[in-house]
Amino acid sequence: MQRNDDPEFWQSVTGTLEQGEKPIETARREVLEETSIDITQSAYQLIDCQKINTYEIRDRWKYRYPPDTPYNTEHVFVVEVANDQAIVLTEHSAYLWLDKALAMQKVWSYTNREAISLYVPDANSSI
């Protein structure tokens, strides 16, 4: 998905843990908020990849974090949705369905590239 505030920045669904929320709950909520996909209602399987990334926050986004917060922690989840799944964007200006190689080229962050590399099957793979 293409960010509204940076047209060069393409990314997966992301979000912030709310008070008392578990990472998997955040993942479900953020997918719903950003794409209108209700994982539970659609009976999709949300998989916890048991992968946590820590990365330096971009200077242009530090205002979103508490003062003196240099790093962000990212929990990686994956969900497979139907090919004809409707998407309604709320926080992004565009989205694309791409094959694995093109998706890895398109996303801005190395953690997104790594997640696509590790958890998205190739087009000719079966899952």
Give the C-alpha separation, 8 to 80, whole Å: 25
Binding residues for substrate: 3, 14, 109
8 A C-beta contact, residue 30 and residue 14: yes
Q: Half-sphere exposure of 1 toward its Cβ, with a 13 Å CA cutoff?
A: 16
The CATH number that domain 2-119 falls under is: 3.90.79.10
The pLDDT tens digits along the chain (127 residues) read: 999 988 899 999 998 889 999 999 999 999 999 999 999 999 999 999 999 999 888 888 888 888 888 998 999 999 999 989 999 999 899 999 899 999 999 999 999 999 999 888 876 543 3
The kind and range of the H/E element at 77 are: strand 71-79
Binding residues: 3, 14, 30, 34, 91, 109
Entry pTM: 0.87
Q: For the chain, what percent of residues have pLDDT higher than 90?
A: 67
Give the C-alpha separation, 71 to 58, whole Å: 9
Binding residues for Mg(2+): 30, 34, 91
Q: What is the pLDDT of residues 51-72, one digit of tens each?
A: 999 988 888 888 888 888 899 8
